[in-house]
Amino acid sequence: MISISMTREERMKNITAIILALFLMTLGASAQTPQEAVNFLYDEEGIGIKAQSMGNAFIGVADDYSALYWNPAGLTQLDQSEIEGSLYHLKFNNEATFAGSTVLDDRNFTRLQSLGLAYKFPTIQGSFVVALGYNRFKNYDQYLSFNGFSHDQIDLGFDLEDDKGEVNYYPFDRDVLRTEEIRQDGNLGAWSFGGGVQLSPNFSMGVTLDFFTGKNQYMMDFFQEDKNNIYNQYPADYDFYELHDKILTEFSGWGIKVGGLLYITNDLRFGLTVDFPRALFVSETYTSNDVIYFDDGYSSEAELSNGEWEYVVKYPFKFSGGAALDLGPFTIAGSFEFRDWTQVEFDIPEGQSLSSDYQSLLDDNRYFAQNFRETFGYSAGGEFRIPGTEVKLRAGYRIVPSPLVNAKQILDRQYISAGLGYNLDKNTSFNFSFTRGDWKKFSSDSFTPSGTYEKVKSERFLVGITFKI
């Protein structure tokens, strides 16, 4: 037993280099890839309970504090100053199928969504309103868990020394039970300041300045088991392998949005906004460790890699527009959003030299044009103010097309929403909304090359209160 233990220790010396190479491939699959760069801003939920109740069809409505995000020109419609605060609760459900096995799991997340003030200045004529606050407009919360017996070959193996002192490569790469769990927890928000001014009786303009901040905690746990005892010959008598990766991503940056609102009649208005090109500065801190187990009970744990990595992601113009029509107690609205994901690109942070790592990052810019496309998302919604009461009923529908080139329609995200508002008194109102999303996706990494098919459902609840001051 002593001689076997000593041999185990000797042959484990070469394992770290092999696993480190595999780790770097895994890291590349989960960070600083074109797909991740697009995902940083893909499918923004936005802010505002009324807006989200109406399916985010709010560019032409924009009549509360959330106009700071949707269309700052709409701030001029406020009849008095207001303070707004809201919370959201997300139920994320994922049905994942891998190697013929399906796992259903869900997770819950609760966050502050927004807190802000809109102040209406006294004017002789027209309207001038400024607003400021903190708003979380994009969440990264999600969860994926799956397992199955896989025959797929992956790049996993070790250089081991046998009893004769000979070192050979022994794969641990197929016909095993594989389990993977991925958790993401985080969001992107902004400290925002902006204002709207009425330039004529029928036209207003507004500007919002955003200072972005946020973080995303990515955690991946991978397990591989020799379930059928196929790997039973010394020295490659593998039993179990596990790998744990963590990546903390932090965001910063700034951006400018300009909006306009035009009243065609007293009941019909059009809005248009332009988000100017923006850059997100991304800082990642990563760690990885693994454990390998053998049939005789021997195990070895190693810290594979840790460090920091910084880069910049640049995003092009975003154009949004919408209209709203008031028909007595009804308001009907529609909006669109246009983005060209082919123009996203990586860049080097200021002050950094062009190393081989950064050159590889810049080389990835060609994949944006090859793998992504322009998207035209749209939404529709409405509000019904029940006559003789303080109750407002709302509903909406939204489509967010997949940014992937040649993507099938089943990969588009669809959302339906409903909500209500209730005036507690002349200065205080309560709002609630519910949004359900459904979409499908296909994902893969170095450990699961055949991929995992996911059916995702999200249920998002928002509650908030507004005080007129």
pLDDT of residue 146: 93
User: What local confidence, expressed as pLDDT, does residue 305 receive?
Assistant: 82
Residue 16: what pLDDT? 41
CATH number for the domain harbouring residue 413? 2.40.160.60
Which pLDDT score is estimated for 318?
Answer: 98
Question: What pLDDT shows up at residue 162?
Answer: 82
- What's residue 308's pLDDT? 93
What pLDDT is recorded for position 14?
Answer: 43
Q: How many domains does the chain have?
A: 1
Look up the pTM and report it.
Answer: 0.89
What pLDDT sits at residue 458? 96
Three-state secondary structure of the chain: CHHHHHHHHHHHHHHHHHHHHHHHHHHHHHCCCHHHHHHCCCCCCCCCHHHHHCCCCCCCCCCCCCHHHHCHHHHHHCCCCEEEEEEEEEEEEEEEEECCEEEEEEEEEEEEEEEEEEEEECCCCCCEEEEEEEEEEEECCEEEEEEEEECCCCCCEEEEECCCCCEEEEECCCCEEEEEEEEEEEEEEEEEEEEEEEEECCEEEEEEEEEEEEEEEEEEEEEEECCCCCCCCCCCCEEEEEEEEEEEEEEEEEEEEEEEEEECCCCEEEEEEEECCEEEEEEEEEEEEEEEEECCCCEEEEEEEEEEEEEEEEECCEEEEEEEEEECCEEEEEEEEEEEHHHCEEECCCCCCCCHHHHHHHHCCHHHHHHECEEEEEEEEEEEECCCCCEEEEEEEEEECCCECCCCHHHCEEEEEEEEEEECCCCEEEEEEEEEEEEEEEECCCCCCCCEEEEEEEEEEEEEEEEEC
> Residue 31 has what pLDDT?
52
pLDDT of 237? 92
What is the mean pLDDT of each successive set of 10 residues along the chain, which is 469 residues long?
Answer: 40 43 41 88 96 98 98 97 97 93 92 97 94 97 92 87 86 93 95 97 98 96 95 92 96 98 97 98 95 90 88 98 97 98 96 90 95 97 96 98 93 97 95 96 87 94 96
pLDDT score of 214: 97
Determine the structural domain holding residue 48 and report its residue range.
2-468
Q: For residue 316, what pLDDT is reported?
A: 98
